Amino acid sequence: MSIFDDPGLFGQLWAASYDLGPNPDPAPAVDFLAGLADGGPVLELAIGTGRVALPLATRGLDVEGVEASEEMVARMRAKPGGDGIPVAIGDMADVPVVGPYRLVYLVFNTLFNLVDESRQQDCFRNVARVLAPGGAFVVEAFVPDPAGFDRDEQLQVREVTEDSVTLRVHRYDRPAQRFVRQTVVIDGRGARLEPFAMRYCWPEQIDEMAERAGLRLAERYAGFDRQPFDADSRSHISVYRLR
């Protein structure tokens, strides 16, 4: 299956190195989410290796997860407390759980890992289905910068050593707001490919998906420190609630 068809492929490729970084410090996200959890229960979509879920659970909250990659979940299970978090293995767009939850969250740009617009919309619709009255859905995502994809292809040299070369190649489909990226590692063992894809959206497009699912934008910040969001913000933390 291709990266467009298999929601678990990202974890299969990246689980072994995911926690090696560079990754953002999860503490600000944990503080922000704990303040919205209202006692729980809490659901993380694309829970991964538990970087946010595990410290959130130490706040006394019942945390559950959805994850398409068994490899990612195995990494979480190996960490202290990882066995205590229930995880449904499946596509996060389906939100294959019952609920209701006081808080559902999707952080680290992971909404964009759903590479089809209809599946992003499915995710919002299914989150609305499992949200408790008064509950919140939190989405963290970058604000796309058109200057970053002003051409159809990009080639970057990421690393050159005596033993290897790492290249990163992007192919953009701008009308579909989608790109495919290949990280190509060439060394003494040959060439290794690490594919990745995203469908990026602007904040107002995410708001429209939320509205169609029966959710309204309640709060928006530039970061988990609640810095005001403005035209120069490069990322956003958006809080949606049932209308």
- Convert the pLDDT of each residue in 1-33 to its tens digit: 555 666 666 667 666 677 776 778 899 999 999
Low-confidence ranges of the chain (pLDDT < 70): 1-11, 13-16, 21
In the prediction, which pLDDT does 139 show? 98
> Parallel, antiparallel, or unpaired: how do β-strands 190-199 and 215-221 relate?
unpaired
Query: Where in the chain is CATH 3.40.50.150?
Result: 9-143+202-242
- Convert the pLDDT of each residue in 187-223 to its tens digit: 999 998 888 899 999 999 999 999 999 999 999 999 9
Size (the chain), residues = 243
In the prediction, which pLDDT does 3 show? 58
pTM check: above 0.85: yes
Question: What CATH code is assigned to 146-198?
Answer: 2.20.25.570
**Residue 83 and residue 50 in contact, taking contact as beta carbons nearer than 8 Å:** no
**Residue 220 and residue 228 in contact, taking contact as beta carbons nearer than 8 Å:** no
Query: Where in the chain is CATH 2.20.25.570?
Result: 146-198
In the prediction, which pLDDT does 84 show? 95
Local structure of 23: helix, strand or coil: coil
Name the CATH superfamily housing domain 9-143+202-242: Vaccinia Virus protein VP39 (3.40.50.150)
**Residue 194 and residue 226 in contact, taking contact as beta carbons nearer than 8 Å:** no
